[in-house]
Amino acid sequence: MESYKTKLTSAYELVKERLTRAKPGFKPQVAIVLGSGLGKFADLCEEPFIIKYNEISGFPVSTVSGHEGRFVFDKVNDVPVAIMQGRVHMYEGFSAAESVLPIRLMGLLGAEMIILTNAAGAVNSSFNVGDLMIISDHISSFVSSPLRGENLDFLGDRFPDMTNVYDTALTEQAEKMANIPLRKGVYMQLPGPQYETPAEVRMCRTLGADAVGMSTAIEAIAAKHMGMRVFGISCITNMAAGVSDKKLAHKDVAAIAQESFPLFSKLLNDILLNLRK
Ligand code: HPA
């Protein structure tokens, strides 16, 4: 079987070669991962160069509705970006390491920073549906580590420090310039794909989580391992199970994320404007 390292390097070489041909000299400064219902942001690109995940041999391909499954390369507000329009999740059957392969690829292409976005359920009962939450920290202890197995020394250390996964300077900047009220809190990744039970949501709260979802923390770990600056935004699409009486459904999650899209898009645009070199 092809080793993980071979899979990653051959995927990198293929994307690098096609990207260089399409956009000579283009090096993404910022990687962006668009979560459920937030993929439209990539449609705002004016001169996108697109590579579908299924065009890259050995690449994990998402099967979830609302996740496009492609890279979009372009400049947004003059900042060269690599956007993942759709991610893969561990609940689709991918290992943690496989799930973060695209993140590592964007790091290898040169992205110094990553913006991770997701749809999440509010564990914190003072939050409202439609809020945007800046991720201040995460709990990933219920899912496997993407760093499990042989360490890839060319990416980072065996035992990387996770004291400050989410970049404080970027968080402060975003809080200062956003002219919308932003929440801030701890994101907890659970395996899914089933939504949590009310008892599990109470557990999340006891452990210090403000929001819960099925992605992102492992991506943040992989990015931090590579030395990337990490910024995370959760779109609160529902109150988590038991926080309100409402039943949970993926179509509602996606619909609320779409409703929050203008706010989300403005925040992302402002962050990129601030990063312009
Ligand atoms: N739980 C887990 N994942 C989610 C939720 C939730 O309530 N909402 C959106 N993604």
Q: Read off the pLDDT of residues 33-87 as tens digits, 9 standing for 90 and up.
A: 998 888 889 988 889 999 999 999 888 887 766 567 999 999 998 899 999 998 9
91 is catalytic: yes
Nearest CA to ligand 1 atom 6: 121
254 CB near ligand 1 (under 6 Å)? no
138 is catalytic: no
Q: How far apart are CA 124 and CA 185, in angstroms?
A: 9
Using the predicted structure, report yes or no on whether residue 32 has a pLDDT greater than 80. Answer: yes
- Domain annotation for the chain: domains and CATH numbers: 2-275 (3.40.50.1580)
195 CB near ligand 1 (under 6 Å)? yes
209 is catalytic: no
215 is catalytic: yes
Cis bond upstream, residue 262 (ω within 30): no
CB atoms < 10 A from the CB of 248, how many? Answer: 16
Look at residue 85 in the predicted model and tell me its pLDDT.
93
Q: What angle in degrees, to the nearest 10, is found between the helix axes of 217-225 and 101-108?
A: 30
Q: Which of 63-67, 87-91, 178-182 has the lowest mean pLDDT?
A: 63-67
Where residue 274 falls among pLDDT bands split at 50, 70, 90? confident
pTM: 0.95
Given the residues 4, 112, 250, 265, the one annotated as active site: 250
- Nearest atom in ligand 1 to 241's CA: 7
Q: Which of 8-12, 141-145, 184-188, 273-277 has the lowest mean pLDDT?
A: 273-277
Given the residues 53, 90, 92, 234, the one annotated as active site: 92
253 CB near ligand 1 (under 6 Å)? yes
Q: Compute the mean pLDDT over every residue in the chain, rounded to the nearest whole number.
A: 92
250 is catalytic: yes
State mean pLDDT over 177-191. 90
Mutate to test the pocket of ligand 1, among 253, 258, 259, 260 (most ligand atoms within 8 A of CB): 253
